Each structure stands twice: as C-alpha cells, then as structure tokens.
Structure 1
Amino acid sequence: MKQFFISTFIVLLALNIADAQEYKKQLKAANKTLAKYYLDPVANKANLDEAIASINTIFSADDAKADPEAWITKGQIFNEIAKAEMNKKVISDQLKQEFTLPTPQAGLNALESFEKAMSMAVKKSQTKDALAGIRESEDHLNNIGITYFQIQDYANSYLNFKASLKSHDILKTNKEASRLDDAMVKNDQVFYTAYAGYNSEYKNETLPLFESLYAGGKAQPFVYEALFNLAADKKDITKAMEYLAAGRAANPDDNGLLFAEINFYLKEGKLDILTDKLKAAIAKEPDNVSVYTTLGNVYDQLNQQERTAGNIAKADEYFNLAFDYFKQSLEKDPKNFDATYSQGALYYNKAASMTAKLNELSNDYSSAGTKKYNEIKAEMDGYFKQALPYFISAEQLDPKDQNTMIALKEIYARSGELNKSTEYKNKLEALGGN
C-alpha cells in the first residue's frame, strides 16, 4: 500500500511538472509567433492577435498566475510588442505614413506583469529581472503617452504617462535608476500627465498632480488655471480665488487665467463683474472676435434682465451696448454667424418682450386702450422688421441653423407673408425641427 501511495505521488508530481512545462512551452510558442509579427507589424497583425490570445489563455491557468517567472516573461513579451510598434511608428512618421498602434495597452500590460512578478518573487533574481523590465517599460510608457498626446487622445496619453510616473516610484523605492531622476524631466512628466488627464474623463484625478506642481514653485500658467477651475468646480471659491491671485501674480500677462475667470463668472451668472473682465480681455487681445461677441451676449442678458424687471431705460442702455459689441465683432469678421444672429436676436427679443403688454391691452376696448394697443403693436412690428435682415444674413452664413429658421418663420407669419412663413416651416421639418 505504501508503495502505491508513493507511486501515485510521483505520478501527480510528474503531471504538475508536465503542466508547468506546458505553459512555459506555450509562452515560448507565443514568443515565436510574435517574432513573425515584429518583422512587419502591419502585414503580420494576425500573428499579434494569435500571440496575445495565446498569452491570455496561458494566464487563465492557476499555475501560470502563481509563477513569477511566467509574469516576467509576459512583461518582456509586452515590452517587445511596445518596442516593435514604436519603432514602426518612428519609421512611418519619417515616411509620412499613417500608423496606429495596434496594441495601445502594451506598456500598461508590461508594467502590470512586472508588478505581479515582484509581488510573488521568491528569488532575488526574479525581483532583479522584474525591475529591469519596469525600467524598460518606463521608456515605452512615456513614448506611447507622447504618441497619444500628439493626436490629442488625452485619455490614453494620461494612462500611459501616469503609469510612467508609477514606474519611477517603483524604481526609486528599490534604489534603481529611472529616466525621471532628473528633476526637470520629472517635473515636465508630471505636468504633461496632469494636462492630459485634465483634458480627458480623468480630470478629477489630476488635482494631486497640479498641487505638487504648484507646491514646487515656478509652475506653468496652466497649473494655476487648472487649480482655479478644479476648486471652482468643487464650489471652494475661496481656494479658487487663492489660486487665481497666485497665478496672476506669477504670470500677469497670461490670458488663460483671465479667460478661466471669465468662464467662471459666466457660469455663476455674475454678469456685472464679467463685463469688466471681458473689457480687460479685449484690451489684451483686441483681435479676438469671440471676446467681443461674448461681451455683447453679456450685455444682452443684462438687457433682458432689466426689461423683464420693467427698467426699460436701463434695458435700452444695455441693448445699445450689446449691439455695439456685436457690430465691433463683425467689423473684425464680417462673416461671423454668432454676431450676425445675435444682432437679429436683440431686436426679436425686444419685440417679443412686448407681447405680454399687448395681450393685456387686447381686452381693453376703450378708445385709449385701443390707441395704446395700436402704438405698442406698431412698435413691436417695427422691431421684428428690424430683426429680419440680420436673420436673412445669418441664414446665408449657416443655412441649417434651426433657430434662425424659427425666427424667420415667426417674423414672416406676423407680417402676413404666409407663403414665406410656410417655406421656413417646411425647411425646419426637413431638418427635423418644428
């Protein structure tokens, strides 16, 4: 019986060794398949797909998952993939040919594999090999991050740059050299990581990165702008203004901070404060058409607020200021749709604001009431008539703008030109509007 148990144990041990040998053979086979891919990453993409599918199958087995050597091999494979694809990218750029990285996660997969290997290493040599792999993947992650940054794929850029910073931290913890040992290089890496994240869905993750740049001193103007916006988004207005003041003091001529503040006041609806900010922006960028248009829109909103409150004299003052800034915008860019449409909208909304009073008077059949009704209606119709040429011009600039068509349809209906009104009704329906 004892002999039987010994024999059974030997058989099971042999089977386990055989299984271990099998997944190692499969890893070698995957490497060979990848070797064909490396020869021509474009023509031999099927070899890449086959190799990665094989690797995924191998690591579905518990034995492979528990083997640091296997994880090191997996990391090395993905490092080689990243290297081959980046080399192909460089050559393609030189030849002015398009090339999209077939394996965008290669650097990330490599780092993850080496981290796994380190977490279960039982030999110094395994830790050493994993760290060597991380040092290599650090370069690949940076290059892949740059590649995505250049095409403004900021999400993928951020993930790779962030992993590069993580690689640096691992290497430093283990007293190994890193490409980010140079303080200036690391500072740049942190900045571009933060910038990429800020301009992607990972925006809210970037606060610690920007804070580290701010704490380091001599931060780029965008650091202050981002910190201002992040704090404002969290309704920490005191902190936001602290960052803004620091940014203005450090970079008095930077327009990014000014426009960040303008956008903040726009969102907050603090229009009276905003007008001064926009005038300052015009003084700094006198050829920036959008600033004139924005200031015109701000004055228009103030005009509508005062008109609704019954302060007609003040409303007319804001109306004239709005019209003047739209006019200045068109002097710089005669084909600016927003300014053209907005001039028409000024008159249209002024006319529309009179309909409530007109409806009120429609029930007054006295001679005085009828006279007042006719006076207001004539004034209202006059404003609609003044709006018409601006909307016609706006339609010529953007024939598919539905708001323009709605305005034209209503104006023609009010003036009794029903054929023209129906024409715009049909145009709207063709575009899916009402």
Structure 2
Amino acid sequence: MNKMILGMLALVLVAVSVKAQQADAKAAAKALAAYNLDPHASKERLKEAVAAILPDPGGEDVADPKYYILKGEILNTLASQIVVVKQTGLGSLEELPQVDGVAVKAFNAYATAVEKHAQVINSPRYFLQDAMKGLREAQGLLYNFGIYAFEAQDYGSAYLNFSSGLAAHEILKKEGQESVLDDALALMDQKYLTALAALNNNMTEAARPLFEELYKASYDNAAVYEALYSINGSGGEGNLEEAYQYLKAGREKYPGEASLLFAEINHFLKLNRLDELIDRLKMAINSEPENLTLYITLGGVYDNLYQRESAAGNSNLASNYFDGALNYYNQSLEKDPNNFDALYSTGTLYYNRAANITIELTEMSEDFSTAGMAKYKAREAEVFAAFDQALPYFQKAESINPNSVETLIALKEIYARKNEPETSNALNERLENVRGGGLNETSFFNGF
C-alpha cells in the first residue's frame, strides 16, 4: 500500500514538473516573440525569455525536442545580439542578458533536440529541420565567440567554441544537411584554430590529433610543424629526435619561415649539437640583422666550441673558435655598447682563456730549467693579460647590473689575482649581500 502511494505521489510530481516546464516554455516563447517584433525597444523581453528557459526547470531532463529548439533559438538570438554590439559598437553588452558560454549552450540545446527527436516516436520531421537550421546559425556564432575568446587569451573558451563548431558540422553531415564548413579549406581552418586554442590552453592530447590530421592533409601553415614538434618533443632527448622529423619537414617546406628556424636553433641547443647551430644562427642573423640575441647566441656557440677544443688540446682550432666568439660578441656591442649579456659574455670569454692557460701553468711548473722557467713566465704574462682584457667588460657589466652574482664573482677573483685585496674584499662584501637576499642600490663601478 505504501509503495502504491509513493508511486502515485511520484506521478503527481512528474505531472507538476511537466506543467511547470510547459508554462516556462510558453512564457519564454511569448517573450521571444515580443522581442523579435521590436529588438531595440524590448530588451527586457529577451531577458525574460532567457530567464524562463535557463536553466531547465528543476534541472530535470525534458523529453520534448521542441523545448530544446526554443532554448537554442533564444540563446542564438542573444549570441547574435552580442556579435552585433561587438562588431558595430552600437548598444551596450550590459543591457543584454548575461549568459556564460552562450554560443556553446545554444549548440548544446540544438544537439540535444536532435537526440530527443531520434528518441521520441513519431516526432515531427520539421523539429529536425528546425534543429538543423539552428545548428547552422550556431556555427557562425561559435566561430565569432571563439575568435573573441582567443583574442582575449581565454584559450579554454576559444577551444570550446571552435570544437563545438566542428561538432555541429558532424551532426549536420550525419543528417545529410549543408554546413558552413562544407568547404574543405574552411573545415581545415576551423580545425587549425581549434588545435591552436587547445595547445595554448595546455590541452596537448586534444590538440595532437587535429594537428596530425592537418599535417597529413598538407595544410598550408608552418605553425602546424612547429606545434607537432612541440607536442611530440616534450618527453626528453629521445622524443626530441623523433619530434625533429616534423621540424625538418617544416624547414624543407618553409625554408624562409623564421619561427621554424628559431625552433630548430633551440632544438640543437637542447641537444648541445653546437656544430650544427652555426649555419642556422648565421641564417637567422641574415633574416633578423638587428636581433642582438642571435649574435650573442652565436658567440656563445663559438665560445663553447673553443672550450671543447681547448680541453682536447687542439690549440689552432680552439683559437679559431675563440676569434669567432669574440667577433660576434663585438658585433652585438657595436649595435648596443650597453648590452649586459654581450658585456658579460665577452668578459667571460677572456676570463676562461685565462683559466685555460692557468691549467697549462700547473703542468709547466714542474720544469725548473731556464728554458722552462722562461716559458712559464711568458704564459703567466698571458694569463694576466687575459684577465686585464676581461676586466673592463665585467666592470661595465657591473655598472649596468650591480646585483649579478656571476659578474661580482669574476671581478672579485680578478682583483685578487691582481693583488688588490681591498678592492677584492669590497666586491666580496657586495657579493655576499646579494647572496643573502639583499640588493646593491648603486654599482661599485658607477659611471664606468
């Protein structure tokens, strides 16, 4: 008996809910009709329509596809008005109902209407046609809202709008209907935007299949190759080698594309493949002759090669690489004499030369012959000469950035070797201040 009573009560509640849904739908339809008669004078009616249809009454599922078609129509209308305001500057967004993700919600309403039509026996065919018409309208709105979100760097929302546009295309094609994305290039463009939004929102697995599809279709955009390199090269050196196939293919297809060139430079830097970097960096300098970072980076490559060959005892080759490094550091300083990185790098180049010669002196110190001692003194003089050459670059670097730990260490060591303990100790105090979390308000070599 109790079960029967509960069952009857449930039936009553369902009936009440359905009546409430029907009442809200009628109110929403009436308000929308009034708004459509005079959109400029009756924005309150649009607010009434939105309020009546959002959310679903009681949060319950509605069986009637007509309800979702009405919901989609109201949300499409609101989305269209937002686009008009944004594109023309006429009116105010504050006057319109505030609905987050309005275009996506309109799409979801129409997609649900299509599902309900398939589930309801003898559902009128015109319901499906109305839903198809609404989906086509939603496609353009989804694209616009995707662009708005992308420009605002809200990449998550951009992805939702663009991917919903693709989903709308799939529904339309399944039903044998026309889509705004029937043009193959338009479809590829939409997939590219969707993939790019996903990648920018760190949704790697959502971006990967879209970029791979674009790659296989030879979509004409260099960013596809760089994106696939980035996606596939994030797991370490082994992955980088596999990912390089995309970068290599992109460089072959777009040899003049600077972004791919720079990606390739960074690739070889990560793998420490210095010899292969030189030609790429020279190409980049030809492409962007005012980019000082390129000169400094190429100088650094030569510097590293100098260190490698010097350690291997290949003095002639090491000397050539030293000259190459100095050449590109000097070129950067010619363009900007106050560039800290160029100053510090040049000082370091000379400092490391002095350090390399010092290692040789350790080996030479065991030869106490007259010739050996003479040779030792000559090389020792080269050490002090190299430190003297490094000094002005470090001094100027310190005058630009008095809180660079590396610069202060180099200066402290140089003055200690020059037997100037007072200056070395003063620099050491400044160094310890920075290491302790303090700041040097003025430089030691102020006005240098």
- Counterpart of 2:343 in structure 1 is 340
2:229 and 2:10 map into 1 onto residues whose CA distance is: 65
- Counterpart of 2:18 in structure 1 is 20
Give the 3 Å change call, closer, same or farther, for CA 65–420 of structure 1 in structure 2.
farther
SS at match of 1:145: helix
1:110 and 1:358 map into 2 onto residues whose CA distance is: 79
Could you tell me whether the CA contact under 8 Å between 2:69 and 2:113 is conserved in 1? yes
- Counterpart of 1:215 in structure 2 is 216
TM superposition shift of 1:153: 4.2
- Counterpart of 1:259 in structure 2 is 262
1:341 and 1:10 map into 2 onto residues whose CA distance is: 85
TM superposition shift of 1:394: 2.9
Identity %, equivalent residues = 39
- Counterpart of 1:186 in structure 2 is 187
Could you tell me whether the CA contact under 8 Å between 2:250 and 2:260 is conserved in 1? yes
- Counterpart of 2:159 in structure 1 is 158
Could you tell me whether the CA contact under 8 Å between 2:69 and 2:130 is conserved in 1? yes
Could you tell me whether the CA contact under 8 Å between 1:229 and 1:260 is conserved in 2? no
TM-score w.r.t. length of structure 1: 0.74
TM superposition shift of 1:27: 6.8
- Counterpart of 1:120 in structure 2 is 116
Indicate yes or no: 2:392 matched with 1:389.
Answer: yes
Indicate yes or no: 2:432 matched with 1:425.
Answer: yes
Q: Residues 74-130 of structure 1: CA distance to partner in whole angstroms, max 9, x if unpaired?
A: 5445434433433333345x89x99xx975533233333433343333234554444
Alignment of 1:58-73 (within 5 A): 58=56, 61=59, 63-64=60-61, 68-73=65-70
State the Cα RMSD in Å. 4.6
Indicate yes or no: 2:140 matched with 1:143.
Answer: no
Q: What is the identity, as a one-letter code, of the residue corresponding to 1:320? A: D
TM superposition shift of 1:308: 4.0
Of 316, 329, 332, the residue aligned with 2:332 is 329
Could you tell me whether the CA contact under 8 Å between 1:348 and 1:383 is conserved in 2? yes
Q: What is the identity, as a one-letter code, of the residue corresponding to 2:396? A: S
Q: Residues 197-237 of structure 1: CA distance to partner in whole angstroms, max 9, x if unpaired?
A: 34441345333333333333462233334345545557467
- Counterpart of 2:443 in structure 1 is none
SS at match of 2:202: coil
Could you tell me whether the CA contact under 8 Å between 2:357 and 2:383 is conserved in 1? yes
Could you tell me whether the CA contact under 8 Å between 2:433 and 2:439 is conserved in 1? no
- Counterpart of 1:88 in structure 2 is 85
TM superposition shift of 1:351: 4.2
Could you tell me whether the CA contact under 8 Å between 2:251 and 2:260 is conserved in 1? yes
TM superposition shift of 1:323: 1.6
- Counterpart of 1:304 in structure 2 is 307
TM superposition shift of 1:147: 1.5
1:102 and 1:71 map into 2 onto residues whose CA distance is: 19
Indicate yes or no: 2:288 matched with 1:291.
Answer: no
Could you tell me whether the CA contact under 8 Å between 2:233 and 2:243 is conserved in 1? yes
Q: What is the identity, as a one-letter code, of the residue corresponding to 1:172? A: K
SS at match of 1:206: helix
Deviates more, 1:270-279 or 1:370-379: 370-379
2:156 and 2:188 map into 1 onto residues whose CA distance is: 20
Could you tell me whether the CA contact under 8 Å between 1:23 and 1:64 is conserved in 2? no
Q: What is the identity, as a one-letter code, of the residue corresponding to 1:290? A: T
Could you tell me whether the CA contact under 8 Å between 1:213 and 1:223 is conserved in 2? yes
Of 110, 114, 135, the residue aligned with 2:106 is 110
SS at match of 1:64: coil
Q: What is the identity, as a one-letter code, of the residue corresponding to 1:90? A: Q
Alignment of 1:375-414 (within 5 A): 379-380=382-383, 382-398=385-401, 401-408=404-411, 410-411=413-414
- Unaligned regions of 5+ residues in structure 1, if any? none
- Counterpart of 2:279 in structure 1 is 276
Could you tell me whether the CA contact under 8 Å between 2:408 and 2:428 is conserved in 1? no
Could you tell me whether the CA contact under 8 Å between 1:85 and 1:102 is conserved in 2? no
SS at match of 1:286: coil
Give the 3 Å change call, closer, same or farther, for CA 24–39 of structure 1 in structure 2.
farther
Could you tell me whether the CA contact under 8 Å between 1:110 and 1:137 is conserved in 2? yes
Q: What is the identity, as a one-letter code, of the residue corresponding to 1:15? A: L
2:169 and 2:11 map into 1 onto residues whose CA distance is: 41
Give the 3 Å change call, closer, same or farther, for CA 334–167 of structure 1 in structure 2.
farther
- Counterpart of 1:176 in structure 2 is 177
Deviates more, 1:375-384 or 1:131-140: 375-384
TM superposition shift of 1:377: 6.8
1:59 and 1:390 map into 2 onto residues whose CA distance is: 74
1:265 and 1:157 map into 2 onto residues whose CA distance is: 33
Q: What is the identity, as a one-letter code, of the residue corresponding to 2:212? A: E
Q: What is the identity, as a one-letter code, of the residue corresponding to 2:16? A: A
Q: Residues 51-88 of structure 1: CA distance to partner in whole angstroms, max 9, x if unpaired?
A: 59x945x4764x33666555445544543443343333
1:181 and 1:217 map into 2 onto residues whose CA distance is: 18
Q: Residues 286-312 of structure 1: CA distance to partner in whole angstroms, max 9, x if unpaired?
A: 343332222111112222333444545
1:428 and 1:81 map into 2 onto residues whose CA distance is: 58
TM superposition shift of 1:321: 1.1
2:108 and 2:376 map into 1 onto residues whose CA distance is: 77
Could you tell me whether the CA contact under 8 Å between 1:395 and 1:401 is conserved in 2? yes
Task: Please tell me whether Structure 1 or Structure 2 has the larger radius of gyration of its CA atoms.
Answer: 2
1:233 and 1:392 map into 2 onto residues whose CA distance is: 40
1:136 and 1:359 map into 2 onto residues whose CA distance is: 81
Could you tell me whether the CA contact under 8 Å between 1:303 and 1:318 is conserved in 2? yes
2:14 and 2:353 map into 1 onto residues whose CA distance is: 85
- Unaligned regions of 5+ residues in structure 2, if any? 441-448
TM superposition shift of 1:175: 2.0
TM superposition shift of 1:326: 1.4
TM superposition shift of 1:411: 4.5
